[in-house]
Amino acid sequence: MHPVTLSKTPYLRPLTSLAILAVSLGVVLSACSSGGGETPSASGSVLYAANCARCHGSQGEGIIGPSLAGVAQTFPEEDGQIAFVSNGGGGMPRFSASLSKADIKAIVEYTRSTFK
């Protein structure tokens, strides 16, 4: 029947654009959520620059404090490095009072994944 096939075509277009809209909305939403604290390296790099770079260098090359290159080998366990940064020692300030546990964890994860 001609009237039926004719009326089908105009219906397809809004549905198709709706589907495209839904897909692009999903992409935008997932991009937002992954940038909002799930990825520690984003805030970790900012926190590192603010708290550590003056002694360890913006690239972890070392200034007053030692180079952090290969820090994941120095501290095979992430927890050990978190404890060290929290407690300090030997010229390294303690950060447990000035930074939250989550912030220290974010910085530590940033240094482990960035300075190799």
Task: Answer yes or no whether residue 115 interacts with ligand HEC by CB under 6 A.
Answer: no
Per-position b or e across 53-82, b if 16+ CB within 10 A of its CB: beebbeebeeeebbebbebbeebeeeeebb
Task: Answer yes or no whether residue 112 interacts with ligand HEC by CB under 6 A.
Answer: no
Whether 95 and 26 have beta carbons less than 8 Å apart is answered as no
Min dist CB 35 to ligand HEC, Å, is: 22
First to last CA, the chain: 70
Instruction: Restricting to residues 22-51, name those near ligand HEC by CB under 6 A.
Output: 51
Query: Exactly one of 28, 35, 54, 79 binds ligand HEC (CB under 6 A); which one?
Result: 54
Interacting residue ranges for ligand HEC, rule: CB under 6 A: 51-52, 54-56, 64-66, 68, 71, 74, 81, 84-85, 89-93, 95, 107, 111
